[in-house]
Amino acid sequence: MAASHVRLLELKTLLEDDELELPGTQLYIDESKTWAAQRNRNPKILIRPRSVERLAQILAYLNNAELDFAVRSGGVGSSSAKDVLISLTAFDGFEFDPSTETITIGAGQTWGDVDQKLEKESGGYAALSVRCSFVGVGGSVVAGGISWASSEFGLASDPQNLLDAQVVTVDGRVLWASSEPELLWALRGGGGGFAGRSVVVSLKLRVHKYTDSIYTGNILFPNDSLAELAKTVSEFTRRTQDPKMAMHLFCLDLAHAALTGQNPAPGILIVVYDANGEAHGRSDEGFGWALKIKGAVDNTRSMTFAEANQQQGEVAMGMTNSWMSGATIPHLDEEMILRSWRWFNELLAKDPRQSAGAFVLIEIMQPPAFSSISSRTDTAWPHTNNRHILQLGTGSFPGSLESDALSLKALADAPFEISRTHTNADYIPNFIESFNDIEAIFGDNYPRLKEIKKRYDPKGRLGVRFA
C-alpha cells in the first residue's frame, strides 16, 4: 500500500463524517473548484473543518506527513493540491461591536456575506470589502484588500483597518497574531495563500460610518466611442481627486457574459462610483460628462454600499485556463488607454481562443488609496507611489498548449507595452504569476518576510513564496 494512501487513512480518523468530502459529491465539486481551470489538481479528499481545534489537529498532522495539501478561503482563489484541500467555508462567524466600531468575522466567507450581515446589524457602517461580492474574505485581506472606499480609508490590510487576526500555525498552534507582532505585520499585505505562514481563520477589522446613498452602476458605450472616452476619462483623472469618487473602465467581456447567463453585447463599459450621492454623480463635477457621450446607455442609480459591491455578482469558475495580473500605473493618459485596447485587440487577432478569458480593466483611484501608511515598512506590502491599477487577464478554454503559452507571455509583456514607465516592482500582491519578481514587489521588506516565513513555516508546507 502506498505511503500516501496510508497517510490519508490516518488523516480521516481525525475527522467527523461531516468534515470529509470525497470526489463526486456536490460540496466537493463546489469547494474544490478553482477560478483558473489549469490550477485544479483534483484533490483526493476535501476537508471542511468545523472548529479551530480541528483545523489545528489537521495542520499539525499534515506538517509532518508526505501529503500535498493546500488551504482555500471562501472565494475565487485557485488553491488546490493533489492530496488534500482544506476548505474554510465553515468559518463564517460575524460579530459587530458598535462601541469599538469593529467587526470580527470568519475568514471563510465571501465579502457578499459580510456586507449583508453588516448592513443588517450595524445600520450605517461599511467594511473595506472588495468590489466583487463573490471574493473571499481571508485571501483578499492578506493580499491588500482594495475597496471602493479605499481612497477614503486606505486598504483593508492597513494597520488602522486590520486590527488583529486569529491564525492557526502549521504546527498546530492557535493564537491571535497581535500576540506575535511580526506575524501580524506579515499578514498586512504579505500576499495570497494567507501569506504562506499560517492559516487565518478570523479577522478583526475596523468599520466606518458610511452613506447609504451611493451613485453607482454602469454606463455602456458603443465601440466607436473609444477615442472620445479615452480623452474624457484621462481628463477626469487629472481633474478629480475627490476620495469619494472612483471609476472602472473595461472592455466588455463577451465570453464571461455568456458563461454567467447574461446577454453578451459588444462595446465598452465604465462603472462609476460617487459617495457624494446621485445629484453630484450626475453633475458635471461627477460623471455627467460620461452620460453626455453619444450612444451612452445609463444603468446607474443610488445604491447602498452592499449593493454597489453586488454589481459584480457572478464569476465563471473553473471553465477556462486563466491568468491575471494587477499592474500599478502612476497616471492615466489618452494614449495609454488606446494602447491597452490595442493590446487586447491584437491578442484576440493573434489567437481568437483568447476571447474566452482576455480582458482589460483600468481601475481609476484617487491618490490617498495607496498613500494610506506613513512608512513603507508599516505593512508587508510597501504600497506604491502609483495611483491606478491596470488589471489584465488572458486565457482560453482548456485544450491548447499554444494558447496557454501565449496567455502567460502576453500577460507578462503587456504592462511594459501599455505603461512606458512600468517596472517589475509595479504590481499589487494579490495576482502573482510565475513571471513576477517577488523580491521587487516587496522591496526592502522582502528579507524580513523571508525570515518570518522561515520561523513560522520552516518546511515550506504553506507555499513556496518567501521560502
| Residue 70: C-alpha distances to residues 15, 32, 38, 126 (Å) | 17, 11, 16, 31
pLDDT at 83 over 80: yes
Q: What is the pLDDT of residue 254?
A: 55
Q: How confident is the model at residue 4 (pLDDT cuts 50, 70, 90)?
A: confident
Task: Report, at the CATH architecture level, how domain 3-87 is classified.
Answer: 2-Layer Sandwich (3.30)
The crossing angle, in degrees rounded to 10, of helices 52-63 and 3-12 is 160
Grid cell digits, residue 290: 460620461
Domain with CATH 3.30.43.10 in the chain: 3-87
Query: Residue 464: how many CB atoms within 10 A of its CB?
Result: 11
Instruction: Give tens-digit pLDDT for 349-362.
Output: 999 999 899 999 99
The domain 214-438 is placed in CATH, from the list 3.40.50.720, 3.40.50.150, 3.40.462.20, 1.10.10.10, at 3.40.462.20
DSSP one-letter string for 262-307: -----SEEEEEEETT-HHHHTSTTTTHHHHTSTT-EEEEEEE-HHH
pLDDT at 262 over 60: no
pTM of the model: 0.93
The average pLDDT across 31-57 equals 96
Cα–Cα distance for residue pair 462/442, rounded to 1 Å:
19
pLDDT at 313 over 70: no
Q: What is the pLDDT of residue 5?
A: 84
Tell me the average pLDDT of the chain.
Answer: 92
Q: What is the pLDDT of residue 252?
A: 67
pLDDT at 415 over 60: yes
pLDDT at 194 over 70: no
Q: What is the CATH number of domain 94-210?
A: 3.30.465.10
pLDDT at 77 over 80: no
Domain with CATH 3.30.465.10 in the chain: 94-210
Cα–Cα distance for residue pair 152/132, rounded to 1 Å:
18
Query: Residue 151: how many CB atoms within 10 A of its CB?
Result: 25
Cα–Cα distance for residue pair 282/291, rounded to 1 Å:
8
Q: Work out the percent of the chain whose per-residue pLDDT is above 70.
A: 94
Q: How confident is the model at residue 158 (pLDDT cuts 50, 70, 90)?
A: very high
DSSP run (H or E) holding 454: helix 446-456
Q: What is the pLDDT of residue 385?
A: 93
Q: Which of 15-19, 63-67, 250-254, 446-450 has the lowest mean pLDDT?
A: 250-254
Rounding to the nearest 10 degrees, give the CA dihedral for residues 296, 302, 304, 310: -20
Is residue 80 within 8 Å of residue 29, measured between CB atoms? no
pLDDT at 126 over 50: yes
Q: How confident is the model at residue 253 (pLDDT cuts 50, 70, 90)?
A: low
pLDDT at 466 over 80: no
**Residue 214 φ/ψ region, left for φ over 0, alpha for ψ in the -120 to 50 degree band, beta for the rest:** beta
Q: What is the pLDDT of residue 263?
A: 53
Domain with CATH 3.40.462.20 in the chain: 214-438
DSSP one-letter string for 170-233: TTS-EEEGGGSHHHHHHHTT--TTGGGTEEEEEEEEE-EE--S-EEEEEEEE-GGGHHHHHHHH
Instruction: Give tens-digit pLDDT for 420-448.
Output: 999 999 999 988 999 999 999 999 999 99
Give CA angle at 361 (385, 126), nearest 5°: 70
Q: Which of 129-143, 258-272, 439-453 has the highest mean pLDDT?
A: 439-453
Taking only Cα atoms into account, the Rg of the chain, rounded to an integer number of angstroms, comes to: 22
